[in-house]
Structure 1
Amino acid sequence: MKIAFYGSSLLSSYWNGAATYYRGILRDLASRGYAITFYEPDAFDRQQHRDIDPPAWARSVVYPATIDAARAVLAEAADADIVVKANGVGVFDTELLDGIIAQARPGALRIFWDVDAAATLDEMRADPGHVVRRALPDIDLVLTYGGGPPVVDAYRGFGAAACVPIYNALDPTTHHPVPADARFAADLAFLGNRLPDREARVEEFFLRAATALPERRFLIGGNGWESKAMPANVRHRGHVYTAEHNAFNATPLAVLNVARDSMAHVGFSPATRVFEAAGAAACLITDAWEGIEQFLKPDREVLVARDGQDVADHLAALTPERAHEIGAAALARVLADHTYALRGAQVDAIFQQHRAQAEVAA
């Protein structure tokens, strides 16, 4: 089957945290025989900060960030059996969602893939005319980056025909243990872009811990933090390319995950970084959110913190031996239960089920 996928970027993780999620799932689907074309706009300097070359397992189409170019690539949706619009493309999101509905051929499976479901649902509640809310009657399936039962129930309440969370996972061919790299030496490291609904939580869980432990070394990576005032023991790294993620995760004593406000509120939303860190056998400290035990076991495979003081306490008590034990246990868990091969199998089963239902209906 042919998939036409309209998303933010497959080639670049620059201001695009969903890149490894797209790569992991689509690469696995390609191995199952799907012919995938990924359409992404040349926007936000992503093409100047590519992490990968166009892959052999997908046809990559980069189009100018103009409405005419968007309409041109939307015309190709008519050739696909499955047409996907992901949220957060950043340019022409409304036109792209309307376009896949209008351009998809009769019988094609039309999917809205929401990689920021909690935030999208908040927008929909505040705006009865929201483009996603308006489009749901013409969408066959909503897939989400996470969110668990609260997100499924909310989407069904807005009229979605079906909603299924497809969680982040690990691709062990790209994220795995590597030797330490002095560039990323620290006691605690955090990787994430500076976003409005994340900044206050970074201040609480990361910067407060750094202030409480002035003798320890802290490292922050990601876009946007260069203008943020930070304690003297915090070093800013800037954008960290995907190829550097393993060393970034494997080198520090521990790494920190901080959820965005919306994801922390809903729960059941492990970030890509959680599985990347576990894949590198890192000792992960995460902020507390509902459902964490579904993915990693607290105190054995991950350390959970309710606030910045908890982070500081975990770090103060952490020995290299204990960090190694937690990282090794996390790696074993994600390899067993949370790989993109498993997620790909889940998506494939969903696609096959919908295809069978469509054939019966026809």
Structure 2
Amino acid sequence: MKLVVLGLSLSSAWGNGHATTFRALLEAYAERGHDILFLERDVPWYRGHRDLEDPAYCRLSFYQSLGDLQQWSGEIAGADAVMVGSYVPDGVEVGRFVQRTAGGVTAFYDIDTPVTLAKLERSDFEYLSPDVIPGYNLYLSFTGGPTLRHLEDHYGSPAARALYCSVDAEKYRPLDVPARWDLSYLGTYSDDRQPTVEKLLNAAARALPHRRFCVAGPQYPAGIDWPGNVERIDHVPPADHAAFYAASRFTLNVTRDDMIKAGWSPSVRLFEAAACATPVISDVWAGLEKLLQPPREILFARTTEDVIAALEGLDESQSSAIGRAARQRVLAEHTAVHRAAELDGHFEEARRRKSALALPATGR
């Protein structure tokens, strides 16, 4: 299969989770024998922080504007499938261009589904609009559960299918490194996640001055009152994620408000940490227990006291058992190899549906 992907970024993981998601998925997809072209809008923010410019598993090219995208018309028209990602600059017009040009299956890959739906409800059409959704043969969603039916019934998607994030099991694995923190958190700052970080990490740090904590990720405002036992790291490159998790006795999973409301929205960091056998303490939302089973594979925390109980109440053997169980579950169900196979199945389903609709009535 020839696949063209127009995504937010493959070249830079700075301040976004899209790059690591695309890298794991597309590398596994290429291993299935497919040819992939990734088209990325050349923007200053990612241009200045690129950590991957020549991937071995696909062609990576940059375009400057919507007009510049025309030079790729032949590739898009001749591809078996074309996939447009969420948060692509001028995504609505990019989607219309793809739908006019593509000869194969067209798909929207939403790595931010609950955020996207919240934007649509307030008429914020930054990268997707209601009129574009029915034109995609396939809506691939980071969120499963009831959201899929909503996308079909309310927005007219011909087929909404879950394609959760995943993890590259070769890159994310247990490492033997010295422990540095009792609880860590890896994530870019966001207004709606910060209250949970305050409650589940900072408040626990103030209550446990003998414990060590860490918050890693960019864009945190300068005015945050970090406790003295919380280390701040501005950015951890993807190549160092596994070592970061390995140095953490526990790590925290924090979910954005829109994703909590929708449920069924695992983050890529959740699977990455679990693949490293680092026990995860997570906020709580519908569907999470179907992905990782508490308390055997993950710990849920609604309050500061829940976090304190885990840090103070579980010994090394107990916490290690949780991490190992989570890793086994992820390796069995949530690797990039699994997602690549699912993607093939979704494309094939969409291709057959598209072919059936193109047949004259007498030929069905």
AA in 2 matched with 1:142: Y
The Cα shift of 1:267 comes to 1.1
- 1:51–1:243 Cα contact (<8 Å) kept: no
Distance 2:73 2:225 in 1: 43
Match for residue 336 of structure 1? 332
1:144 is aligned, of 125, 141, 146, to: 141
* Alignment correspondent of 1:346: 342
Amino acid at match of 2:31: S
Which runs of 5 or more structure 1 residues have no equivalent in the other structure?
A: none
| CA distance, structure 1, for counterparts of residue 125 and residue 40 of structure 2 | 26
CA distance in 1, matches of 2:177, 2:125: 51
**Can you give the 5+ residue segments of structure 2 that lack an aligned partner in the other structure?**
360-364
1:204 aligns with 199
2:171 aligned with 1:174: yes
Partner of 1:323: 319
Determine whether 1:188 maps to 2:183.
Answer: yes
Structure 2 counterpart of 1:207, one-letter code: N
| 1:287 and 2:287 aligned | no
CA–CA distance in structure 1, aligned partners of residues 314 and 5 of structure 2: 44
Q: Count the aligned residue pairs.
A: 355
Deviation larger for 313-322 or 277-286: 313-322
Distance (whole Å) between structure 1 residues aligned to residue 4 and residue 177 of structure 2: 39
- Indicate the residue corresponding to 1:95 in structure 2: 93
Is the Cα–Cα contact under 8 Å of residues 38 and 58 in structure 1 kept in the other structure?
yes
Identical pairs, percent = 35
2:50 counterpart residue number: 50
Once the two structures are overlaid, the 10-residue window that deviates more, 93-102 or 127-136, is: 127-136
Offset, 1:305: 0.6
TM-score normalised to the size of structure 2?
Answer: 0.92
Check the 8 A contact 1:221/1:237 in 2, yes or no.
yes
Measure, in 1, the Cα distance between the counterparts of 2:183 and 2:300. Answer: 14
Contact 2:92 2:132 in 1 (8 A): no
TM-score, normalised by the number of residues in structure 1? 0.92
Whether 1:234 aligns to 2:230 is: yes
CA distance in 2, matches of 1:104, 1:213: 57
Aligned equivalent of 2:270, options 253, 270, 274: 274
CA distance in 2 between partners of 1:69 and 1:229 (Å): 45
Listed one character per residue, the Cα deviations across residues 73-120 of structure 1 (whole Å, up to 9, x for unaligned) are 46642231211110112x322322222122223xx1111111110011
Structure with greater helix percent: 1
Alpha-carbon displacement from aligned partner over 1:117-166 (angstroms, at most 9, x marks no partner) = 001111112229774212022111100112x2221122112111110011
Q: Distance in 1 between matches of 2:19 and 2:142?
A: 12
Answer yes or no: is the 8 Å Cα contact 1:201–1:260 preserved in 2. Answer: no
Please list, as runs of the form range in 1=range in 2, the aligned pairs for 1:98-113 lying within 5 A after superposition. Answer: 98-105=96-103, 108-113=104-109
Tell me the CA shift for residue 230 of structure 1. 1.1
Cα distance in 2, alignment partners of residues 357 and 266 from structure 1: 28
Whole-Å Cα distance in 1 between the matches of residues 15 and 40 of structure 2?
14
Offset of residue 220 of structure 1: 0.6
The DSSP-based 3-state class of the residue aligned with 1:196 is: coil
8 Å contact kept, 1:281–1:330: yes
What SS does structure 2 have at the residue aligned with 1:99? helix
SS of aligned partner of 2:54: coil
Cα 1:71–1:194 change in 2 (3 A) is: farther
